[in-house]
Copies of this chain bind each other. A is one copy, B any other.
């Protein structure tokens, strides 16, 4: 599997709320399919399907216990997806910075307007 195909699978696997919730659950420790199915109001076969998608993307693996086959999180593909997104950090930091600058500017303007208003009133001018 190429790096690009791995990213395809990782992002596709993450594009579902149940699969993201399964990863969140596994973040607190490995769990069997039964454990994972409990908090969801969907059938166990449906959970198994989601687990298969996560497994094929390499986001989870199976533990050694032959009976429980507990699933655990595998972080490497998440790290790679994170690295891909990090390349765009300058854009969101840039745009938040622009938003911050705009807010600062608006605050300064507001202060000036208030001051101006008080000065006008102090001179007895109409508002």
The chain A residues found within 8 Å of chain B, CB to CB, are 4, 7-12, 14-17, 20, 23-24, 27, 73-76, 78-79, 81-82, 84-89, 91-92, 94-96
Taking the full assembly, how many copies of this chain does it contain?
A: 2
Q: When the two chains form the complex, which single residue of B12, B82, B86, B87 contacts A11, counting CB atoms closer than 8 Å?
A: B12
| A60 CB → nearest B CB, Å | 11
Q: Is the interface of A mostly helix, strand, loop or mixed?
A: helix
Q: Point out the residues of chain B lying under 8 angstroms from A95, CB to CB.
A: 74-76
Contact between chains at A16 and B27 (CB < 8 Å): no
Contact between chains at A4 and B27 (CB < 8 Å): no
Q: Which residue on chain B has the smallest CB distance to residue A16?
A: B8
Contact between chains at B94 and A75 (CB < 8 Å): yes
